[in-house]
Amino acid sequence: MTGSSPAYIIGIDGGGTKTHCVIGDAQGNLLAACAGDAGNVKSRPWPQVAATFGSLIRQAVRSAGAETDQVAVIAAGLGGVVQPRDRERIARLLQAHAGDGAVIRVYPDAENVLAAGGGGGAGIALIAGTGSVAWGRTAGGSEARSGGWGHVLGDEGSGYDIGRRALGAVIRAHDGRGEPTALTPMLLRHLGLISPTAFIELYYEQAGVRKEIASLAAPALLAAREGDAVARAIAAEAADELTQLALGVSRQLDRFGGLADGDPLVLSGGLFGSEWFAAMTAARLRPALPSLRVSRLPLPPVTGAYLLGLQAYGAVVDEAWEARMLRFWSEPRFLTFGGY
């Protein structure tokens, strides 16, 4: 990369359902965005995740009219990157899609949320999508995580958790072990099935059903919003679990000086695309953490990856940055880009 060659910044946000990728210049202007399959290294085989990253980066570079050797930074916030070996393996892969000497950053996806919703400073990011996790950082740089254990060990309050509980409620009602619920016709209609007995074939005779079960959270929350008592109980328990994730992070950070009054608590992920569920969760978070400023993320999380990439490049982000991002994402082609 020559000194006169323009530099490009790539940001990636990889979760349990989708991976989003953006490219922008070093002056803080986004140029292109694209999306692909899940980028959580714990929910898909490594070769598939690697192919997704490579394809998205090539597409972004091509859309911006750039060359690979002009990519100066790749910042990737990904679900499932808890172990250093995971970060190192992904960093090596990303380096092959950037210029010589490019800066490569690989970190948990929650950091993208806090960057996009709080400028990258202190605060807590609470993500509820296919999975669930809370992550936070103090002004002094101390970090803490709560949740993010995956659907086998945790993911309480997540889309998968709600979907699994909704399926269980339908099964219990079918067996005569539980209350009748509007979830039964709503889930059967969503799945195109006639009877709950078809669940066995649907979910036991195929691999990788986590994302499919998580997709049931949308009709389950709709049933809850419309007043079904069983669905409301599931939604309320999910909101309680997510509140506990944020509280867990806050308690851990208290050991390092804690958060300041007015620090952000940013909600992100597909579940919070439901304004009703976001309001239910916020109503629990505000009394539990009264000093924090609770809000839904106004931008796709991948915007935070781009911001972190700019900062890694040494670019100065001006006050008009957020307004430029909002204009970019308000373009009609991006209105359904991803749940945030």
Position 235 in a domain: yes
320 pLDDT tier (thresholds 50, 70, 90): confident
Instruction: Please give the structure tokens belonging to residue 24.
Output: 């922008």
124 with 16, same domain? Answer: no
Q: Which domain holds residue 203?
A: 118-297
147 with 179, same domain? Answer: yes
Q: Can you tell me the mean pLDDT for 186-204?
A: 90
Is the confidence at residue 80, as pLDDT, over 80? no
Between these two residues, 291 and 84, which has the higher pLDDT value? Answer: 291
Instruction: Please tell me the distance from the alpha carbon of residue 9 to that of residue 24, in angstroms, as a whole number.
Output: 5
Q: What is the DSSP letter of 98?
A: S
28 with 62, same domain? Answer: yes
198 with 271, same domain? Answer: yes
160 with 228, same domain? Answer: yes
335 pLDDT tier (thresholds 50, 70, 90): low
Q: What is the DSSP letter of 16?
A: S
Position 54 in a domain: yes
Is the confidence at residue 238, as pLDDT, over 80? yes
271 with 166, same domain? Answer: yes
Q: Can you tell me the mean pLDDT for 320-333?
A: 78
Is the confidence at residue 331, as pLDDT, over 90? no
Q: What is the pTM of this model?
A: 0.83
164 with 293, same domain? Answer: yes
271 with 287, same domain? Answer: yes
178 with 96, same domain? Answer: no
For 25, list phi and psi in degrees, rounded to 5: -90, 180
Q: Can you tell me the mean pLDDT for 94-99?
A: 89
192 with 212, same domain? Answer: yes
Position 2 in a domain: no
Nearest to 13 by CA among 29, 32, 36, 31: 36
Instruction: Please tell me the distance from the alpha carbon of residue 269 to that of residue 280, in angstroms, as a whole number.
Output: 15
Give me the number of domains the chain comprises: 2
Kindly write down the DSSP assignment for every residue of 266-301, as one continuous string. Answer: EEESGGGGSHHHHHHHHHHHHHHSTTSEEEE-SS-T
Is the confidence at residue 239, as pLDDT, over 60? yes
Strands 264-268 and 123-128: parallel
212 with 232, same domain? Answer: yes
Between these two residues, 209 and 222, which has the higher pLDDT value? Answer: 222
134 with 262, same domain? Answer: yes
CATH of the domain at 246: 3.30.420.40
The mean of the pLDDT values for the chain is 88
Q: Can you tell me the mean pLDDT for 53-61?
A: 92
